[in-house]
Protein backbone atom coordinates (compact mmCIF):
# COMPACT_ATOMS: atom_id res chain seq x y z
CA UNK A 1 0.00 0.00 0.00
CA UNK A 2 1.17 3.52 -0.76
CA UNK A 3 0.18 6.64 1.16
CA UNK A 4 -0.86 9.61 -0.98
CA UNK A 5 -1.10 13.12 0.43
CA UNK A 6 -4.55 14.63 0.02
CA UNK A 7 -3.98 17.54 -2.38
CA UNK A 8 -6.71 19.79 -0.96
CA UNK A 9 -7.35 21.36 2.42
CA UNK A 10 -9.92 19.37 4.37
CA UNK A 11 -12.38 21.39 6.40
CA UNK A 12 -13.53 19.19 9.30
CA UNK A 13 -15.86 21.85 10.68
CA UNK A 14 -18.54 21.44 7.97
CA UNK A 15 -20.50 18.45 6.68
CA UNK A 16 -20.13 17.71 2.96
CA UNK A 17 -19.62 15.07 0.26
CA UNK A 18 -17.35 15.93 -2.64
CA UNK A 19 -14.99 14.53 -5.25
CA UNK A 20 -11.32 14.03 -4.47
CA UNK A 21 -8.73 13.22 -7.12
CA UNK A 22 -5.76 11.26 -5.79
CA UNK A 23 -3.30 8.96 -7.57
CA UNK A 24 -5.34 9.01 -10.78
CA UNK A 25 -8.50 7.95 -8.98
CA UNK A 26 -11.72 9.83 -8.39
CA UNK A 27 -12.72 9.20 -4.79
CA UNK A 28 -15.49 10.42 -2.55
CA UNK A 29 -14.48 12.65 0.37
CA UNK A 30 -16.97 12.80 3.21
CA UNK A 31 -16.94 15.06 6.21
CA UNK A 32 -19.62 14.35 8.76
CA UNK A 33 -19.65 15.71 12.28
CA UNK A 34 -15.87 16.13 12.39
CA UNK A 35 -15.12 12.66 11.00
CA UNK A 36 -13.43 12.41 7.60
CA UNK A 37 -13.93 9.35 5.36
CA UNK A 38 -12.76 8.52 1.86
CA UNK A 39 -14.63 5.96 -0.24
CA UNK A 40 -14.86 4.81 -3.82
CA UNK A 41 -16.99 7.12 -5.95
CA UNK A 42 -18.85 4.69 -8.23
CA UNK A 43 -22.07 3.23 -6.92
CA UNK A 44 -22.03 -0.59 -7.22
CA UNK A 45 -25.76 -0.65 -8.00
CA UNK A 46 -25.81 1.08 -11.39
CA UNK A 47 -22.69 3.21 -11.53
CA UNK A 48 -23.91 6.59 -10.27
CA UNK A 49 -21.41 9.14 -9.05
CA UNK A 50 -21.51 8.95 -5.26
CA UNK A 51 -19.73 12.32 -4.97
CA UNK A 52 -23.12 13.81 -5.97
CA UNK A 53 -24.76 12.04 -3.03
CA UNK A 54 -25.11 13.09 0.56
CA UNK A 55 -24.53 11.74 4.04
CA UNK A 56 -27.02 11.07 6.82
CA UNK A 57 -26.32 9.39 10.14
CA UNK A 58 -23.07 7.77 9.03
CA UNK A 59 -24.48 6.55 5.70
CA UNK A 60 -23.49 7.79 2.25
CA UNK A 61 -26.61 7.93 0.09
CA UNK A 62 -26.53 7.42 -3.67
CA UNK A 63 -28.33 10.17 -5.61
CA UNK A 64 -29.85 7.73 -8.17
CA UNK A 65 -31.81 5.09 -6.28
CA UNK A 66 -30.92 5.95 -2.68
CA UNK A 67 -28.79 2.94 -1.83
CA UNK A 68 -27.12 3.58 1.52
CA UNK A 69 -23.53 2.73 2.50
CA UNK A 70 -21.88 2.77 5.91
CA UNK A 71 -18.99 5.28 5.67
CA UNK A 72 -16.83 3.37 8.18
CA UNK A 73 -17.16 -0.13 6.72
CA UNK A 74 -18.49 0.49 3.19
CA UNK A 75 -21.29 -2.03 3.76
CA UNK A 76 -24.54 -1.37 1.96
CA UNK A 77 -27.82 -1.70 3.84
CA UNK A 78 -28.69 -5.35 4.35
CA UNK A 79 -31.26 -5.74 1.55
CA UNK A 80 -28.89 -4.17 -1.02
CA UNK A 81 -26.23 -6.94 -0.95
CA UNK A 82 -23.47 -4.56 -2.05
CA UNK A 83 -20.69 -2.41 -0.67
CA UNK A 84 -18.30 0.37 -1.52
CA UNK A 85 -14.62 0.61 -0.75
CA UNK A 86 -13.41 2.62 2.24
CA UNK A 87 -9.81 3.82 2.03
CA UNK A 88 -7.52 4.03 5.08
CA UNK A 89 -6.80 7.57 6.15
CA UNK A 90 -4.15 8.99 8.46
CA UNK A 91 -3.29 12.50 9.59
CA UNK A 92 0.31 13.62 10.06
CA UNK A 93 1.44 17.15 10.88
CA UNK A 94 -1.96 18.49 9.85
CA UNK A 95 -2.00 16.76 6.46
CA UNK A 96 -4.19 13.82 5.49
CA UNK A 97 -2.87 10.77 3.65
CA UNK A 98 -4.90 8.07 1.88
CA UNK A 99 -3.68 4.49 1.66
CA UNK A 100 -4.12 3.04 -1.83
CA UNK A 101 -3.08 -0.45 -2.86
CA UNK A 102 -0.57 -0.59 -5.67
CA UNK A 103 -2.14 -1.69 -8.93
CA UNK A 104 -1.04 -5.01 -10.37
CA UNK A 105 0.74 -3.05 -13.11
CA UNK A 106 2.75 -1.06 -10.54
CA UNK A 107 3.51 -4.18 -8.52
CA UNK A 108 5.06 -5.78 -11.58
CA UNK A 109 6.65 -2.75 -13.27
CA UNK A 110 6.70 -0.04 -10.58
Which residues contribute to the site for ligand FES (CB under 6 A)? 43, 45-48, 62, 64-65, 67
We find the least distance from the C-beta atom of residue 109 to ligand FES, in angstroms, to be 34
We find the least distance from the C-beta atom of residue 35 to ligand FES, in angstroms, to be 22
Residue among 43 and 100 whose Cβ is closer to ligand FES:
43
- CA–CA gap between residue 57 and residue 32 (Å, rounded): 8
We find the least distance from the C-beta atom of residue 27 to ligand FES, in angstroms, to be 16
- CA–CA gap between residue 48 and residue 52 (Å, rounded): 8
Residue among 3 and 80 whose Cβ is closer to ligand FES:
80
Residue among 36 and 49 whose Cβ is closer to ligand FES:
49
Residue among 44 and 96 whose Cβ is closer to ligand FES:
44
- CA–CA gap between residue 100 and residue 63 (Å, rounded): 26
Give CB contacts under 8 A, 24+ apart, made by 23-30: 23/98, 23/100, 25/100, 26/51, 27/87, 27/98, 28/53, 28/60, 30/55, 30/60, 30/71
We find the least distance from the C-beta atom of residue 45 to ligand FES, in angstroms, to be 3
Amino acid sequence: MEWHKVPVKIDESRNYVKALHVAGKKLCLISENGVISVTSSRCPHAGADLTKGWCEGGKLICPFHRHRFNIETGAGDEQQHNYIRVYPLKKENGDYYIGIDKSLWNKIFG
